[in-house]
C-alpha cells in the first residue's frame, strides 16, 4: 500500500491552545500506529498548527482527529514533496 503525505492545518478553538498542549502532554498524539508524524509548526499567536503527517489510509487521519476535534478544527490537504512535484511536472516542461 502506498503512503501519502498530508498537510494538516489545525485551528485551535478560541482560548483552547493550553488545553491542546495539556492533552498532548498527558495523553500523547493518540494516533494509530500506522500514522506517522513528520513535523509541525505553530503560529506565534497559538491559533494554528501546521502539521505534516504520513499515512497509509485517510481513515487513520480521521481516527487521530477524532481524539482532538472537540478543541481543534482540521483542514487536511494531500501533498507531495517538492522532488515528487518536480518529477511529476517534468514531462510538461
Q: In what order do the strands lie in the sheet with 36-42?
A: 36-42, 48-55, 4-12, 72-79
Q: pTM for this structure?
A: 0.90
* Each residue's pLDDT tens digit, 52-78: 999 998 899 999 999 999 999 999 999
Q: Which pLDDT score, from 0 to 100, does residue 86 have?
A: 97
What stretch of H or E contains 77? Answer: strand 72-79
Taking the C-alpha atoms of residue 11 and residue 4, their distance in angstroms, rounded to an integer, is 22
Mean pLDDT over the full length of the chain: 96
Mean pLDDT per 10-residue segment, the chain (93 residues):
91 97 98 96 98 94 97 97 96 97
User: What integer pLDDT is reported at residue 1 of this predicted model?
Assistant: 62
User: What pLDDT does residue 2 have?
Assistant: 81
Domains and CATH numbers, the chain: 4-92 (3.30.70.1060)
Amino acid at each position: 500500500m502506498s503512503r501519502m503525505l498530508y498537510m494538516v492545518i489545525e485551528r485551535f478553538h478560541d482560548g483552547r491552545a493550553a488545553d491542546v498542549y495539556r492533552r498532548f502532554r498527558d495523553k500523547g498524539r493518540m494516533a494509530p500506529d500506522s500514522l506517522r508524524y513528520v513535523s509541525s509548526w505553530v503560529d506565534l499567536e497559538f491559533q494554528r498548527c501546521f502539521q505534516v503527517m504520513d499515512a497509509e489510509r485517510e481513515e487513520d487521519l480521521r481516527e487521530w482527529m477524532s481524539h482532538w476535534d472537540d478543541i481543534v478544527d482540521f483542514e487536511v490537504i494531500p501533498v507531495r514533496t517538492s522532488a515528487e512535484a518536480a518529477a511529476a511536472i517534468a514531462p510538461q516542461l
